[in-house]
A and B are shown apart, each in its own frame.
Chain A
Amino acid sequence: MSILVNSETRLIVQGITGREGSFHTGQMVEYGTKVVGGVTPGGAGKEVHGVPVFNTVRDAVAATRANTSIIYVPAPFAPDAIYEAVDAGIPLVICITENIPTLEMTKVYQHVKQSSSRLIGPNCPGLITPGEAKVGIMPGFINKPGGPVGLVSRSGTLTYEVVNALTEAGLGQTTAVGIGGDPIIGTSFVDVLELFQNDAATEAIVMIGEIGGTDEEVAAQYIAEHVTKPVVGFIAGRTAPPGKQMGHAGAIISGGRGTAAEKMTALTAAGVQVADRPAQVAELMAAVLN
């Protein structure tokens, strides 16, 4: 078992003829993900890595019965791409695009919330259920299928680091979800924690946070009240200076809030084992599962 994506996932790629979209379509097809179509306005009739291209999401869904969409459209057009996917009734929409203006995301968030779709991202690496479906930009070869660890993270490469350490320690993953590094994202830690808590195959959870905002603190409270599975955490940015954006739009300590120390304290108080180094996550997890 797994969460959100699996061998039943029928994926379309919005922005499939672009540089990123086309490259990652090839990567996802190679991994074995069922990529059933792509969307580029005016691109109907073309093929990218053997995948048929459609003009609209509606056309793509009608022809392919797609149930998931991944978006590689540049920032100025990405909100429109999300609206199009949501309005076509796609249940799961993943937005990889970074640098979307935050105010646009306040509108997108509200629209998605009132629909039956779930949005992951933006500014995220996507998600992977090893051996079944890779829906994103992560390197698939570092993952190990079969669980028992579910992983949720705000970061990209840091996630690869931890996944790699888990795999090297012989610990497979059910699903690894990158929720994105922006201030406003469609799916939060709490949403994914709830899914892992309810997933029979997930025996333990890794949660990777970073400075900025209070989502880790909210997650800590949720863990204390609702999560019975063991959780191992890591927070990046202990040495980050206040008031400076550290790469991700959401990674900033502002007004003295959002520090790594606050988040680590909250998680520890909720019974989460917090690692000092990324690789230590795997060591702590191995101990927890034994």
Chain B
Amino acid sequence: MNIHEYQAAKIFASHGIPINAGIVCTSPDEVAKAAQELGQAVVIKAQVHSGGRGKAGGVKVARDPEQARSASEQIFGLDIRGHIVHKVLVAPAVDIKREIYLGVTIDRAARGVTIMASSEGGVEIEEVAATAPEKIHREVADPLLGLHPYQARRLAFDLGIEPPLVNGFARVAQQLYTAFIQSDASLAEINPLAIVGDGSWQALDSKMVIDNNGLYRHKDFEELRDPEEEVATEIEARASGISFVKLDGDIGCVVNGAGLSMATMDAIKLYGGEPANFLDVGGGASASQVAKALEIVLSDKNVRAILINIFGGITRGDEVAHGLLEAFNTIKLEVPLVVRLVGTNQKEGREILAEAGITTVDTMNEAAERVVAAAKQAA
């Protein structure tokens, strides 16, 4: 689950990290008022679940409340990598002496948690990793013992931080590590972590991603969810135990299993079509779940044809067939449908569908080829 900068900053602050506290605003009037309250030059930052805000014009500095108001007028409504700006954070502009990147993430290769630091603060870490990987320093934390102070200090010395500032940096690194662990995060990032005017460390931008699988033990994080940042159908799907990701194509997909769903999308593309979504109905899908899945796919107005690809293991072919018929009772199907149903109880499932006038195909290739042709015809 993604959360906003201001929400991450609040979590970091609760772990003792010095942040550049600001005021969240939803209108230019509020921005002017916030700038007035802060009584100094401010920085206005778009609050969206996306990186690259600066380059997109989502971050602006203003000297006074009126300037802040007009600057924010340009930020509200901005489209940053597909995310529309509804909220901004107004924070005091600070005098930056030096910028560092500091991040904590799951290191899949190391099977553990890694703390990363780079002297290239303020730059996206992916960019540094691609252009100057030697500038990224890493320490892997022991899952049981945590990040040792010496590891945090070692990062500081690797970055060439002057000795009087090392302990302060190490403290922030350990606090960030603790925030990561205690929040069940998959990413916690301060970029930049800056040495400001008075020589102290301050987190100027905060980012955090929470592991969806850890959410059950952080009920309080539910309120951090921003429905404006999520696709409504993705939320609806999640509530039904369906894994759904909206894409830009015109061929709707209903598949069982994540790997097979991806392979189905790939097959559609291979035959010259474009998938409208990723959809995994889940293992042992019931009739009602299949009906729900079909409803979600059909709610996308771009969909010109639908491919249902079920390989029954635990999922039974007859259950799937009943689910489809159940769905057609309530939804009027106006686009062509291609069904491929194999595996457990395939015979029963196909018979049920045949009686209702729905024909099925045997192979995935045939199914993909047919649905692409059907979508092209409908276009």
Where the two chains meet, the residues of A that have a C-beta atom closer than 8 Å to any C-beta of B are 75-76, 99-103, 106-107, 109-110, 125, 137-139, 141-142, 153-161, 164, 181, 183-184, 208, 210-215, 218, 234, 236-241, 244-251, 255-257, 260, 276-279
Contacts and interface: CB of A to CB of B under 8 A. Distances in A.
B47 interface: no
B280 A247 contact: yes
Contacts of B365: 277, 279
18 contacts: A76-B216, A102-B184, A102-B186, A102-B213, A106-B112, A107-B143, A139-B312, A141-B344, A154-B259, A159-B259, A164-B343, A213-B109, A215-B108, A245-B212, A246-B258, A247-B257, A247-B258, A247-B261
Nearest to B315: A157
Contacts of A181: 258-259
A183 B214 contact: no
A276 B269 CA distance: 11
A156 B257 contact: yes
Best-buried of B213, B255, B256 by chain A (most CB within 10 Å): B213
Contacts of A212: 108
Given A102-B106, A106-B143, A241-B247, A248 B258 contact: yes
A211 B106 contact: no
Nearest to B266: A238
Contacts of A236: 259-260, 262-263, 266
B269 A218 contact: no
A103 B181 contact: yes
Interface footprint category on B? 35 or more
Given A125-B313, A236-B259, 10 more contacts: A101-B217, A103-B106, A106-B106, A139-B343, A153-B259, A157-B256, A158-B263, A239-B275, A248-B258, A277-B364
Interface string B89-127: 000000000000000001011011100000000000110
Contact of A160 (B126, B143, B275, B311): B311
Contacts of A106: 106, 111-113, 143
B200 interface: no
Interface of B: 106, 108-109, 111-113, 125-126, 129-130, 142-144, 181, 184, 186, 211-214, 216-217, 243, 245, 247, 255-263, 265-270, 275, 278, 280, 283, 311-314, 342-344, 363-365
Best-buried of A100, A236, A241 by chain B (most CB within 10 Å): A236
Given A238-B269, A256-B126, A279-B364, A155 B260 contact: yes
Contacts of B130: 256
Contacts of B255: 157
8 closest Cβ contacts across the A-B interface? A155-B259, A247-B258, A157-B257, A158-B259, A101-B214, A236-B262, A255-B126, A157-B260
B110 to A, nearest CB: 9
A279 B362 CA distance: 12
Contacts of B113: 103, 106
Contact of A158 (B109, B126, B257, B268): B257
A103 B211 contact: yes
B262 A211 contact: yes
Contact of B106 (A156, A183, A240): A183
B77 to A, nearest CB: 22
A25 B250 CA distance: 42
B276 to A, nearest CB: 11
B343 A214 contact: no
A141 B268 CA distance: 28
Contacts of A249: 211-213
Contacts of A154: 259
A130 to B, nearest CB: 15
A153 B268 CA distance: 22
B243 A247 contact: yes
Nearest to B270: A276
A215 B107 CA distance: 12
Nearest to B279: A247
B181 to A, nearest CB: 6
A111 B130 CA distance: 34
A247 B245 CA distance: 9
A109 B106 CA distance: 13
Contacts of B213: 75, 99-102, 249
Contacts of A247: 243, 257-259, 261-262, 278, 280
Contacts of B257: 155-158, 247
Given A102-B214, A157-B257, A184-B111, A107 B283 contact: no
A158 B260 contact: yes
A273 to B, nearest CB: 17
A77 to B, nearest CB: 12
Best-buried of B130, B245, B259, B312 by chain A (most CB within 10 Å): B259
B129 A255 contact: yes
Contacts of A276: 270
